[in-house]
């Protein structure tokens, strides 16, 4: 059990889901404190039948804290995480700031739970689009190896924050009412539209979001030889990232073997019945913790080629759920201070 648990960013959209997931997953702790910026400090949050006052995020707030689960922007994480680590806490960080630090394990509990043993006070949770892809690829890789991945993502506006969801709704109403949209979160109007850029230009025409999927997947799977090509697209969906994934394994698998691997994989729900029009869709998968897989096919021309469709709630498994699962690993394996 975690003796003293702190949640940073508790009043934010993902922080609120973290609190839900703590209860749903049964994360055991003795005491809990909620931390946030000066703007939110002093607010009351109802949790586990109690009204908890949000405390100011400052160095002394981490005194005697054992585990921190944090949902903050990168620049906030860069400042406060060292405060917590210096005071002996283990930080489960959902920001991108520490993900590629070689001293920081990047963990998905269904994929590389053993890597938490390598932590030096910080454990990073991956990018949402990377997380669902790697959870789905893991059973295939374990059974037959993995050589190549080509992925196209169709990412919900919630990946850009709560204000982006509001913008989608408002601009859709404006578009239908033949009024001018207001652009705040995106370079173009997202209403009834697709924007084929997420993140900034990174290298050779790829965006930062696309390269995150490459580098993070290599780190999580411990294999830099896997060839990965990603295209990331913002779509007018409120919650839930969708991905069209093509991969090539080292050894061939039959369609029956592939379906059985998905069916038995931890954290994966197989929804695959094309005849009856059953497949994962973001609206159906929202507010659920699993990674949903459907439209499973073998390549008609490449013996080791596999295509499938993958959907997951980016605020849950892509963020809050994964972070709380890491916290549960720490609790279950007694790595937190007793």
Q: Which residues are catalytic?
A: 128, 241
Question: For the chain, percent helix, then strand, then coil, each to nearest 5?
Answer: 35, 25, 40
DSSP for 112-139, please give it. Answer: -GGGGGG-SSEEEPPPHHHHHHHHHHHH
Is residue 322 within 8 A of residue 109, CB to CB? The reply is yes
Distance CA 119, CA 122 (A): 6
CA separation, residue 278 to residues 106, 212, 240 (Å): 33, 31, 17
Q: How far apart are CA 294 and CA 211, in angstroms?
A: 25
**Sign of CA pseudo-dihedral 148, 301, 241, 269:** negative
In three-state secondary structure terms, 53 is strand
- Residues 326 and 330: their CA atoms lie apart, in Å, by 6
Residue 182 CB-density burial (10 A; 0-12 exposed, 13-18 middle, 19+ buried): exposed
Tokens of 281: 């869709």
Q: How many CB atoms lie within 10 A of CB 267?
A: 22
SS3 51: strand
Of 126, 83, 80, 85, the closest CA to residue 106 belongs to 126
């Amino acid at each position: 059990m975690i003796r003293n648990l702190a949640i940073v960013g508790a009043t934010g959209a993902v922080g609120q889901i973290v609190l839900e997931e703590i209860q749903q997953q049964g994360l055991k702790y003795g005491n809990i404190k909620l931390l946030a910026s000066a703007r939110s400090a002093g607010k009351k949050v109802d949790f586990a039948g109690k009204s908890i006052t949000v405390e100011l995020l400052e160095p002394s707030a981490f005194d005697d804290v054992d585990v921190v689960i944090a949902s903050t922007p990168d620049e906030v994480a860069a400042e406060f995480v060292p405060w917590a680590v210096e005071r002996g806490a283990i930080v489960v960080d959902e920001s991108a700031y520490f993900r590629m630090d070689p001293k920081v394990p990047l963990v998905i509990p269904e994929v590389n739970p053993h890597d938490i043993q390598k932590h030096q006070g910080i454990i990073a949770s991956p990018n949402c689009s990377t997380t669902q892809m790697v959870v789905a690829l893991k059973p295939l890789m374990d059974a037959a190896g993995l050589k190549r991945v080509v992925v196209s993502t169709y990412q919900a506006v919630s990946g850009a924050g709560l204000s982006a969801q509001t913008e989608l709704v408002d601009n859709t109403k404006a578009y239908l009412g033949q009024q001018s949209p207001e652009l705040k979160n995106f370079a173009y109007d997202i209403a009834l539209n697709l924007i084929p850029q997420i993140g900034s230009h990174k290298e050779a025409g790829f965006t930062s979001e696309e390269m995150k999927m490459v580098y993070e997947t290599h780190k999580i799977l411990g294999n830099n030889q896997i060839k990965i090509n990603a295209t990331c697209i913002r779509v007018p969906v409120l919650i839930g990232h969708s991905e069209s994934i093509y991969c090539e394994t080292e050894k061939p698998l039959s369609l029956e073997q592939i379906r059985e691997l998905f069916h038995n994989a931890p954290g994966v729900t197989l929804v695959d019945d094309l005849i009856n029009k059953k497949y994962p869709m973001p609206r159906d998968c929202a507010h659920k913790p699993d990674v949903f897989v459907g439209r499973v096919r073998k390549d008609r021309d490449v013996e080791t080629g596999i295509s499938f469709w993958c959907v997951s709630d980016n605020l849950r498994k892509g963020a809050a759920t994964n972070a709380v699962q890491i916290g549960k690993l720490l609790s279950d394996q007694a790595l937190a201070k007793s």
